[in-house]
Amino acid sequence: MIALDTKKRTEIKIRVRRQDGPGKKPYWELHTLPYEPELNVISILQKIAAQSKTSDGKKVTPVVWDCGCLEEVCGACTMVINGKVRQSCSALVDRLLEDNPDEIVLEPMRKFPVLRDLLVDRQRLFKALERVEAWVPVDSYYDMGPGERQSRDSQEQNYPLSQCMSCGCCLDACPQFLKIELEQKAGESDEDFQARKNAAYNESFVGPHAISQAMLFNNNPVGKALAGERLDALSGPGGIQICGNAQNCVAVCPKEIPLTTSIARAGRATTLHAIRSWFE
């Protein structure tokens, strides 16, 4: 039945939510391309850019989007496709047309400021990783020899968490992660504007991706050196207490990272950390 529909199809209609710059009013644009089998959303965006003409023949600037690896590893190409946040490199057009034969609808992610069209500013996502010091600390570039061995159990616990690609799907879906979009004031320097953004980001909910990364690095033989600092960050403003346990995050993560398990672990760890700190 689906194969028959595909054979009959001669064109693909793509509706794109465009925006000419930060803070500008968004608008919709319809593009039509000749049907070809086995396309993904990135390839239709490339064809739209090459065509640079809407369905009614109006010449337009190419739609802007971001991508990197083209194999669901970098997270850069995330957007909202037919209402669902996901990676455009792994979104197959034939599958999307099975669900919605009339058109494919492309929108930017909803929780980050739009820079242009489908390109958003994910800076806040990376700031959250900085807040929880989501890395293994090194104290020099000298060869310090092999580190402590990781047990089989902790390898098994850590491997799924290490697959996070900072794509932002979990943040897009989380009802507690609210959009922050600030405008540069007249006369405000770039440095002051960045400092104001950082202050707003640092007060806001850190997000499930950062909570999960804190648990990953707290369970690493070298990374655990910063465990206390990470738990302090998760106990502070915008920390784990903001999570309402809606579990939307875990439902949309393309890497199927057990985010709610990480959140539960972080909840227990921050409570123990607080109790220990009363006796210090």
For binding to ligand FES (CB under 6 A), which residues are involved?
Answer: 67-70, 72-77, 87, 89
- Which of ligand FES, ligand SF4, none lies near 96, with the C-beta cut-off 5 to 8 A by kind? none
Binding of residue 174 to ligand SF4 (CB under 6 A): yes
Q: From 59-67, 91-99, 227-235, 253-261, give the range in contact with ligand SF4 by CB under 6 A.
A: 253-261
Q: In whole angstroms, how large is the CA radius of gyration of the chain?
A: 22
- Site residues for ligand SF4, window 255-274 (CB under 6 A)? 255, 257, 259-260, 263
Binding of residue 240 to ligand SF4 (CB under 6 A): no
Of 34 and 62, nearer to ligand FES (C-beta) is: 62
DSSP letters for 199-236 = HHHHHS---HHHHHHHHHHHTSTTGGGGHHHHHHHHHS
For the bound state, the minimum distance from the C-beta of residue 167 to ligand FES, rounded and expressed in Å, comes to 7
CA atoms of 254 and 270, how far apart (whole Å): 27
| Three-point CA angle 165, 168, 173, nearest 5° | 135
Three-state SS at 238: coil
Three-state SS at 79: strand
Taking CB under 6 A as the criterion, the residue among 208, 223, 238, 239 binding ligand SF4 is 208
Q: How many CA atoms lie within 13 A of 267 on its CB side?
A: 12
For residue 129, give the nearest of 249, 212, 203 by alpha carbon. 212
For the bound state, the minimum distance from the C-beta of residue 266 to ligand SF4, rounded and expressed in Å, comes to 10
Of 72 and 117, nearer to ligand SF4 (C-beta) is: 72
Binding of residue 89 to ligand SF4 (CB under 6 A): no
For the bound state, the minimum distance from the C-beta of residue 213 to ligand SF4, rounded and expressed in Å, comes to 8
First to last CA, the chain: 69
Of 225 and 242, nearer to ligand SF4 (C-beta) is: 242
For the bound state, the minimum distance from the C-beta of residue 196 to ligand SF4, rounded and expressed in Å, comes to 25
Three-state SS at 125: helix
Of 227 and 257, nearer to ligand SF4 (C-beta) is: 257
- Which of ligand FES, ligand SF4, none lies near 74, with the C-beta cut-off 5 to 8 A by kind? ligand FES
Interstrand relation of 104-107 and 11-18 (parallel, antiparallel or unpaired): parallel
CA atoms of 230 and 137, how far apart (whole Å): 12
- Which of ligand SF4, ligand FES, none lies near 89, with the C-beta cut-off 5 to 8 A by kind? ligand FES
| E-only strand ranges, 65-138 | 78-81, 84-87, 104-107, 114-116, 119-120
# chain residues binding ligand SF4, by CB under 6 A: 27
Of 40 and 260, nearer to ligand FES (C-beta) is: 40
- Site residues for ligand SF4, window 138-167 (CB under 6 A)? 164-167
Binding of residue 12 to ligand SF4 (CB under 6 A): no
DSSP letters for 159-190 = HHHHT-----HHHHH-TTS------PPTT--H
Residues 13-42, one symbol each (x = binds ligand SF4 by CB under 6 A, - = not), give ------------------------------
